[in-house]
């Protein structure tokens, strides 16, 4: 439908970043959403365009490896980040944290420079450095030859980003990096996320006390919970830290996702990530570490038959959260929008007011996604 750049819209429901509202109208002015008002308080003379579905801000994804045929590790550049963002915007994601996984020092340096160049690019909100300071035994698809101890070089790169006020998330294995590293990173203002780790529950708790405040793709690349050896997963679930999770039906059992969501002691601490690869809006295969990865039965599989990232969008993840996990639309939208916005300390990304119409989407009655306005 044609959306006017100026005027009033009356959606069936409105997600304002916190609540799912009914009986509301929104005002657009010069391509921005500038006001939300109860319909029954509007003058009869005001003309409104009816809109079916839920009007909501677009999705915020804090773990995006690629899209549109581009893998950031293979092309660590400002232009590549923009291509990846465009690929995900086609599916309702309006803000991404480009993610560089374990690789050579040269690739990491290039990704940091790309994030610096992309600082003013709307929708590119920083950099997620996932590795290389991880557990070898829990490395997943990360290349073992590039995993290495923490060093001042990585700390310097994080400091470089933070000195330019660029958000940065750093995924580390706490049992690998040592006791002072997490404090050092947190003191720089980095979001320290625990992942690809073989840590015990005690080591997980210690990392949180040292300044870690997030967990990377909960359950994946972590030891399983056992009755007398609950491991880092238990530390995550029982904490008030944030935790990202993949909801594609392959990485984590739906039953475990349901359990984790019920078990968290604090609300609004779980968020959904895509962990997406170049196959989103791209070809069905790509190269990772010079090895082919391709889609098989909805899963991304490398030459060893192991999972290598995910082939799912945030819009598909939200639909699965509602249809398969059984949470309410408002909770699913918070997990995909306002909670990740809070994690990255950009609350404006989770709010509806003062947003460009290009950053708004519609969640249909079947919880599929439609664009609100053309770009």
Please give the full DSSP string across 86-142, using - where no structure is assigned.
HHHHTTTEEEEEEEEES--HHHHHHHHHHHHHTTTSTTB--EEEE-SSS-GGG-TTS
> Residue 237, SS3?
helix
Q: Is 61 a catalytic residue?
A: no
Closest Cα to residue 244, out of 128, 326, 329, 132?
A: 128
Give the number of other Cβ atoms within 10 Å of residue 198's Cβ: 19
- The residues pairing with 363 across neighbouring beta strands, listed in sequence order, are 54, 369
Alpha-carbon span 307 to 203, nearest angstrom: 27
Alpha-carbon span 310 to 104, nearest angstrom: 22
CA distances from 325 to 224, 248, 249, 265, 315 (A): 21, 11, 10, 19, 15
Give the alpha-carbon dihedral of 233, 236, 242, 244, to 10 degrees: 0
Q: Under a CB-based contact definition with an 8 Å cutoff, are residues 200 and 227 in contact?
A: no
Give the number of other Cβ atoms within 10 Å of residue 273's Cβ: 28
CA distances from 289 to 70, 131, 159, 275 (A): 14, 15, 27, 17
- The residues pairing with 36 across neighbouring beta strands, listed in sequence order, are 26
User: Residues 61, 103, 275, 359: which is the catalytic one?
Assistant: 275
Closest Cα to residue 365, out of 39, 88, 11?
A: 11
- Residues carrying an active site annotation: 275
């Amino acid at each position: 439908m044609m959306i006017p750049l100026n005027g009033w819209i009356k959606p069936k429901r409105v997600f304002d970043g916190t609540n799912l509202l009914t009986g509301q109208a929104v005002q657009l002015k010069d391509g921005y959403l500038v006001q939300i008002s109860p319909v029954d308080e509007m003058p009869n003379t005001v003309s409104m365009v009816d809109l079916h579905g839920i009007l909501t801000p677009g999705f915020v994804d804090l773990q995006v490896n690629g899209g549109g045929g581009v893998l950031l590790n293979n092309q660590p550049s400002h232009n590549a980040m923009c291509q990846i963002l465009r690929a995900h915007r086609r599916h309702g994601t309006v803000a991404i944290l480009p993610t560089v996984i374990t690789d050579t020092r040269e690739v990491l340096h290039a990704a940091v420079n790309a994030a610096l160049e992309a600082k003013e690019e709307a929708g590119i909100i920083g950099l997620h450095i996932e590795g290389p300071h991880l557990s070898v035994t829990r490395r997943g698809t990360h290349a073992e030859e590039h995993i290495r101890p923490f060093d001042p070089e990585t700390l310097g790169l994080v400091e470089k980003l933070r000195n330019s006020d660029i958000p940065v998330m750093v995924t580390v294995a706490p049992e690998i990096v040592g006791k002072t590293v997490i404090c050092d990173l947190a003191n720089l203002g980095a979001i320290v996320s625990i992942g690809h780790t073989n840590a015990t529950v005690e080591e997980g708790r210690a990392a949180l006390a040292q300044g870690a405040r997030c967990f990377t793709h909960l359950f994946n690349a972590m030891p399983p919970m056992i009755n007398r050896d609950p491991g880092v997963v238990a530390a995550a679930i029982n904490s008030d830290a944030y935790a990202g999770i993949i909801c594609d039906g392959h990485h984590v059992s739906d039953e475990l996702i349901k359990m984790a969501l019920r078990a968290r002691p604090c609300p609004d601490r779980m968020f959904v990530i895509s962990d997406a690869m170049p196959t989103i809006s791209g070809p069905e295969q790509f190269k990772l570490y010079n090895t082919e990865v391709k889609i098989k039965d909805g899963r991304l599989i490398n030459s060893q038959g192991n999972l290598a990232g995910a082939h799912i969008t945030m819009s598909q993840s939200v639909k699965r959260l509602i249809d398969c996990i059984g949470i309410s639309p408002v909770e699913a939208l918070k997990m995909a929008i306002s909670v990740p916005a809070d994690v990255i300390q950009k609350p404006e990304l989770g709010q509806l007011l003062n947003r460009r119409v290009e950053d708004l989407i519609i969640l249909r009655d079947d919880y599929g996604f439609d664009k609100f306005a053309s770009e």
